[in-house]
Chains A and B, each alone.
Chain A
Amino acid sequence: MATLRAEVASHDRVSDPGAAPEIFLLRLRAPEITQKVRPGQFVMLKVAAGLDPLLARPFSVHGVEGGDLLILYRLAGKGTRLLSQVKEGQELTLWGPLGRGFDLNVKKPVLVAGGMGLAPLRFAAAALAKQGREVSFLCGLPGGDGFSELCESLERWAGSQVNFSLATEDGSLGVMGLVTALMPEALAWGDAVLACGPIPMLGAVARLCAERGVPCQVSLEAPMACGVGACLGCAIPAAGGGYLRACQEGPVMDAAQVDWERL
């Protein structure tokens, strides 16, 4: 799994024009990766050539279409700003797929996304639907601002097998409240949770699942240098002491493996 140079097939802003959150969909021609990648895995991507920024960034995979690898990301800092300036036809350096993905051996999966946590969960939903599973996909956002087109396209994409529900804290889209408010109803049906989002949200999801005895897989992120298990930078506090590496034992872990108090 040497590093690859992948051509940018397309690179579009998918958040609403003029809205504050700037969300981009990057499509890379990377058949070497798309052949192997499983939902929940990630790639390390150099956002720009040269020595500054120095490190590659981990990005979860949003989907696979033929030999194209899809990455959905939000502009959050210097690295993603540089990435957002990359044009169609340019090449980017990356390596992967890396890490442990979701266990898709579940019967009635409830997918719980907070904000950009929807990036890897769409890939998981697509794979589950392809297996013939019915999927409940819950998505929580602070507000609808910027996300309305993205949510509409997700709803269109979801089709009949994926039941898409939305909650916003300001009530501007879907139900007003946190995504966890949608969980009791979904768990009346579902028997497994796959979650990705901010840590406080994941902690709440993990608690709710533990109370109900529902197995819960969480996708975690941490500052990461190498992505291959060597630097030990991406430490996640483990239940029972010590640390797990987000890049190797994760990014998807059983919620019971994680020490939520120390995280």
Chain B
Amino acid sequence: MGAAPNMSVTVGGLTLSNPVLAASGTFGYGREYAPHLDLAALGGLVTKGVSLQPRAGNAPPRIRETACGMLNAIGLANVGLEVFLRDKLPFLAGLRQKGLAVVVNLYAESVAEFAELAGRLAGAAGEGVSALEVNVSCPNVKGGGMAFGVDPRAVAEVTAAVAGAAGALPVWVKLTPNVADPAPMARAALENGASAVSLINTLLGMAIDARARRPRLANLYGGLSGPAVKPVGLRMVHQVARAIPGAHIVGLGGIMSGEDAAEYLLAGARAVQVGTASFVDPGACARIAGELTEFCRQQGVADVNELVGGLINS
């Protein structure tokens, strides 16, 4: 056996000890998983989306298992910025001191709200936050309720506003797969101050109980995640990597193993996020980081960065 492979990567203004981050909405605020795995084994984590005001979330049922996946319509339930700063940030700051990247995911329904959130986080977060991730899958209430993320002009506007308010904090933009081509959205983000794009968010879906003739989710529609969506995520990461040479991409969608993570790196991602896998196995993020190291060792890859973008030109 040769020397241990280098697993450190740089992405979106951050240097990570390894390419595996926990995805927003699947890992709480970090503390929830502390009893279940060694958090220090992660490259970092992305928090549950934080909004200016607390949100109770949608009426249940909120989730439904589907073939090799699940639908969720949680409704971005979260504690709100004030409680986040007071109750959640101290633990996250401790993780950051241990070398984890702490990325705070932002949810808002207008450009002005996004800018206010970013400004207040940049001002109050101190040493506790490494970067911000903007969720542009939410409805643009002032823009008629259509999601920010399906309109390149709206992506550009919200990215510029957040980047302007965030000071030195790097800004990532999390893109929706519910578009024909993600490249124009990625370009709009990266040309307006984003250091990286994360993709993909969940695919909009539906489940029906035919016998009861009822939708399975109270919200009717929900976001599909899990291994069922991995081919879509790989395709979209590859599309953006090919369309925008040098783009910093964080890949996610259905990663269940170290080898799945390697597939995303080959498609063009510099780092990955693990989401639904944490529900299936609370130790998944640490396991997958270990498996990716083992994959590199077995494949004779001395530096994980050798994998990044390996298939862009194929």
* A positions within 8 Å CB-CB of B: 1-3, 46, 51-56, 93, 95, 222-237, 241-243, 262
Interface contact A55-B60, CB-CB below 8 Å: no
Interface contact B63-A231, CB-CB below 8 Å: yes
A55 to B35, CA, bound (A): 20
- Which of A1, A2, A95, A237 has the most C-beta atoms of chain B within 10 angstroms of its own C-beta? A2
- The distance from the CB of B208 to the nearest CB of chain A, in whole angstroms, is 15
A227 to B282, CA, bound (A): 9
B46-84 with Cβ < 8 A to chain A: 48, 56-65, 67-70, 72, 74, 77
A224 to B70, CA, bound (A): 11
Interface contact B32-A229, CB-CB below 8 Å: yes
On whether A55 and B280 interact (CB within 8 A), knowing A223-B61, A243-B57, the answer reads yes
Residue B33, interface by CB 8 Å: yes
Interface contact B65-A233, CB-CB below 8 Å: no
Give the interface SS of chain A, mostly helix, strand, loop or mixed. loop
- The distance from the CB of A67 to the nearest CB of chain B, in whole angstroms, is 21
Interface contact B68-A230, CB-CB below 8 Å: no
Residue B181, interface by CB 8 Å: no
Residue B18, interface by CB 8 Å: no
Instruction: Identify which of A1, A230, A236 contacts B28 (C-beta below 8 A).
Output: A230
* B positions within 8 Å CB-CB of A: 25-28, 32-33, 35-37, 48, 56-65, 67-70, 72, 74, 77, 226-227, 256, 276, 278-283
A188 to B163, CA, bound (A): 67
A262 to B65, CA, bound (A): 23
Q: Which residues from B are CB-within-8-Å of A53? A: 65
Q: Which residues from A are CB-within-8-Å of B65? A: 53-55
Interface contact A3-B283, CB-CB below 8 Å: yes
Interface contact A232-B26, CB-CB below 8 Å: no
Interface contact B62-A226, CB-CB below 8 Å: no
Interface contact B26-A54, CB-CB below 8 Å: no
- The distance from the CB of A131 to the nearest CB of chain B, in whole angstroms, is 28
- The distance from the CB of B229 to the nearest CB of chain A, in whole angstroms, is 12
Q: Which residues from B are CB-within-8-Å of A55? A: 65, 70, 279-280
Q: Which residues from A are CB-within-8-Å of B70? A: 54-55, 225
A93 to B287, CA, bound (A): 15
Interface contact B56-A228, CB-CB below 8 Å: no
Give the interface SS of chain B, mostly helix, strand, loop or mixed. loop
Question: Which residue of chain B lies nearest to A231 when distances are taken between CB atoms in the complex?
Answer: B279
Interface contact A230-B32, CB-CB below 8 Å: yes
Q: Which residues from B are CB-within-8-Å of A54? A: 65, 68-70, 226-227, 276, 280
Interface contact A3-B279, CB-CB below 8 Å: no
Interface contact B27-A233, CB-CB below 8 Å: no
Interface contact A3-B62, CB-CB below 8 Å: no
Interface contact A222-B278, CB-CB below 8 Å: no
- The distance from the CB of B265 to the nearest CB of chain A, in whole angstroms, is 21
Interface contact A233-B283, CB-CB below 8 Å: no
Q: Which residues from B are CB-within-8-Å of A93? A: 281
22 CB < 8 A contacts A-B: A1-B36, A2-B36, A3-B281, A51-B227, A54-B68, A55-B280, A95-B36, A95-B282, A223-B60, A223-B63, A225-B63, A225-B276, A226-B282, A229-B28, A229-B32, A230-B28, A231-B25, A231-B72, A233-B62, A233-B63, A234-B60, A241-B56
Instruction: Identify which of A46, A51, A223, A242 contacts B62 (C-beta below 8 A).
Output: A223
- The distance from the CB of A254 to the nearest CB of chain B, in whole angstroms, is 19
Given A3-B281, A55-B280, A230-B279, 5 other A-B residues pairs in contact with their CB atoms under 8 A? A1-B35, A52-B68, A223-B64, A228-B282, A231-B63
Interface contact B278-A226, CB-CB below 8 Å: yes
- The distance from the CB of B217 to the nearest CB of chain A, in whole angstroms, is 10
Q: Which residues from B are CB-within-8-Å of A2? A: 36-37, 282-283
- The distance from the CB of B219 to the nearest CB of chain A, in whole angstroms, is 12
A95 to B35, CA, bound (A): 11
Interface contact A52-B33, CB-CB below 8 Å: no
A201 to B58, CA, bound (A): 25
Q: Which residues from B are CB-within-8-Å of A52? A: 67-68
Question: Which residue of chain A lies nearest to B35 when distances are taken between CB atoms in the complex?
Answer: A1
Q: Which residues from B are CB-within-8-Å of A225? A: 63, 70, 72, 276, 279
A95 to B27, CA, bound (A): 16
Instruction: Identify which of B32, B227, B282 contacts A3 (C-beta below 8 A).
Output: B282
Instruction: Identify which of A223, A230, A262 contacts B27 (C-beta below 8 A).
Output: A230
Interface contact B60-A232, CB-CB below 8 Å: no
A48 to B68, CA, bound (A): 13
- The distance from the CB of B252 to the nearest CB of chain A, in whole angstroms, is 16
A226 to B206, CA, bound (A): 21
Q: Which residues from A are CB-within-8-Å of B72? A: 225, 231, 233
Question: Which residue of chain B lies nearest to A226 when distances are taken between CB atoms in the complex?
Answer: B279
Question: Which residue of chain A lies nearest to B286 when distances are taken between CB atoms in the complex?
Answer: A2
- The distance from the CB of A241 to the nearest CB of chain B, in whole angstroms, is 7
A76 to B280, CA, bound (A): 21
Q: Which residues from B are CB-within-8-Å of A235? A: 57-60, 62, 77
Going nearest first, the 3 A-B pairs with the smallest beta carbon separation are A233-B63, A225-B279, A230-B28
On whether A228 and B32 interact (CB within 8 A), knowing A51-B227, A235-B57, A243-B56, the answer reads yes
A228 to B67, CA, bound (A): 22
A231 to B24, CA, bound (A): 10
- Which of A56, A231, A234, A236 has the most C-beta atoms of chain B within 10 angstroms of its own C-beta? A231
Question: Which residue of chain A lies nearest to B26 when distances are taken between CB atoms in the complex?
Answer: A230
